[in-house]
Amino acid sequence: MSTPPLAASGMAPGPFAGPQAQQAAREVNTASLCRIGQETVQDIVYRTMEIFQLLRNMQLPNGVTYHTGTYQDRLTKLQDNLRQLSVLFRKLRLVYDKCNENCGGMDPIPVEKLKQKNQQLKQIMDQLRNLIWDINAMLAMRN
């Protein structure tokens, strides 16, 4: 599931053939793992919804006559979904453990610092937007 290092992939080492390349490969790998984890969580939610849908549609054996074939079919689907759900949770655990392993040496960024960086980026984007509008206005006046 992990990405092979750049040197083993047949590519020339290039200028980043050192700790920076390993760090970049690790970050890409962690980002890919996070994407896989997100997709796995979505699959878990979908399977869980299917399980509840099957359970809602199953009739309880309360003396009401029901078709054995339909019951067996729904029971088989339910068991299959439960097996798949178990597999998905194990997969999610592996992805979680691998992400934690990859990020073990990293310090978490405080939320306040992230908010400050986001605010700075917003200000820069607003300034760039205003600059583009000013340039467009100047060009429109020339024509």
Ordered alpha helix ranges (H), the chain = 19-57, 68-102, 111-142
Q: For residue 65, which amino acid is it? A: T
Residue 5 lies in a domain: no
Same domain, 113 and 74: no
Same domain, 71 and 118: no
Residue 13 lies in a domain: no
Does pLDDT of 75 surpass 50? yes
Domain with 101 in it: 24-57+66-106
* pLDDT, tens digit (0-9, with 9 covering 90-100), for 106-119: 777 788 888 999 99
| Higher per-residue confidence, 59 vs 119 | 119
Same domain, 72 and 138: no
Q: Is the pTM of this model over 0.85?
A: no
Q: Which two tokens stand for residue 142?
A: 């020339």
- The answer to whether the beta carbons of residues 70 and 57 sit under 8 Å apart is no
Q: Specify the number of domains making up the chain.
A: 2
Does pLDDT of 14 surpass 80? no
- The answer to whether the beta carbons of residues 99 and 27 sit under 8 Å apart is no
What pLDDT, on a 0 to 100 scale, did the predictor assign at position 55?
87
Residues of the chain with pLDDT > 90: what percent? 42
Residue 102 lies in a domain: yes
d(CA 13, CA 31): 22
Does pLDDT of 138 surpass 90? no
pLDDT confidence bin for 78, thresholds 50/70/90: very high
What pLDDT, on a 0 to 100 scale, did the predictor assign at position 5?
42
